[in-house]
Amino acid sequence: MSAVTQTVTTAHPGVVLRPAVRADVALILALIRELAEYEREPDAVLATEALLEAQLFGAQPAAEVMIAEADGQPAGFALFFHNFSTWQGRRGLYLEDLFVRPQFRGRGVGHALIAYLARLAVQRDCARFEWSVLDWNAPAIGFYRRIGAVGMDGWTVQRIDGEALRRLAASSADAADRPESD
């Protein structure tokens, strides 16, 4: 499921992109942890190298990762996957995480990553390219507005996880296991 097989040059001096490979798992996890620190959730990361390796490079990859390098140094990453629009009848591209290390911000690294993903979405005939952003992250929101992204007013992200997810799943199994009444 690799997005590309070679390095992608960008319009930003010294910035190149490349698809992540199995050997990048430790780097990807480090970048995820740095993102969690930035998003004020340092203890929320449960991912391990083994989980990432299986999910990103196993038999059925769940997502793809592009690594950005600036002057040969790892500068950031974008992790993305396909979703599907029933109304459009076509798949979309969903950006789960975009992170640029602080020392590389302002050099076009984030723009290079997001512009590449937009190009990839067009190449893959995606109906849309979307992502979520924390409402307090004014620098990111400002960046997204400058590149033409529009906030989806009226939509609220919903999530169920942990014990609530297990209870809900069990309620389905319980119903399936009960005999039908006459």
CB 107 within 8 A of CB 96: no
pLDDT at 156: 85
The confidence score (pLDDT) of residue 2 equals 46
Residue 2 in domain: no
Domain presence at residue 71: yes
Confirm whether 182 is domain-assigned: no
Q: How far apart are the first and last CA of the chain?
A: 49
Q: What is the reported pTM?
A: 0.88
In a domain, 141, yes or no: yes
Tens of pLDDT along 113-169? Answer: 999 999 999 999 999 999 999 999 999 999 999 999 999 988 888 999 899 999 999
pLDDT of residue 37: 97
1 belongs to a structural domain:
no
Catalytic residue among 38, 94, 116, 144: 144
DSSP letter for 88, please: T
Give the per-residue pLDDT at 90: 97
Domain that holds residue 145: 8-177
In the chain, how many domains are there? Answer: 1
pLDDT recorded at residue 1: 45
Is there a catalytic annotation at residue 94? Answer: no
> CA-CA distance, 32 to 146, in Å (whole number)?
25
CATH code of the domain containing 155: 3.40.630.30
